[in-house]
Amino acid sequence: MPMTVVVITALPDRFRGFLSSCMCEIAPGVFTSPNMNRAVRQRVWGVLSEWFMHFEGGSVVMTWPSKHEPGGQGLLTLGLPKRELVAYDGLVLVRDPP
């Protein structure tokens, strides 16, 4: 199972509490899980997405290894700035979506 990393900034403590219940906080706002499967990752993202709708500001970034994404890395974001991984001419670039 792949390593999942979540980084949160400028969000209420409930986000940290929730993430601490299923991941290890290795630095302030940086959470990792070396064995989070896809189903658990989707549930965690669902909770974060739902809670995020009730707050202004802050951000959440989740990344994990994925054979189906550019550069072999999946990426989800909430808040600003939004980011997207794009394969271009053999390179993997990070860009702001249109």
Identify the structural domains of the chain with CATH numbers, from first to last.
Answer: 4-95 (3.30.70.240)
For residues 80-89, average pLDDT: 74
Question: In angstroms, what is the C-alpha Rg of the chain?
Answer: 14
Is the separation of the CB atoms in 8 and 59 below 8 Å?
Answer: yes
Q: Supply the mean pLDDT for the chain.
A: 89
Q: Is the pLDDT of residue 79 over 70?
A: yes
Q: Is the pLDDT of residue 1 over 70?
A: no
Is the separation of the CB atoms in 91 and 70 below 8 Å?
Answer: no
pTM of the predicted model as reported, rounded to 2 decimal places: 0.84
For residues 44-60, average pLDDT: 93
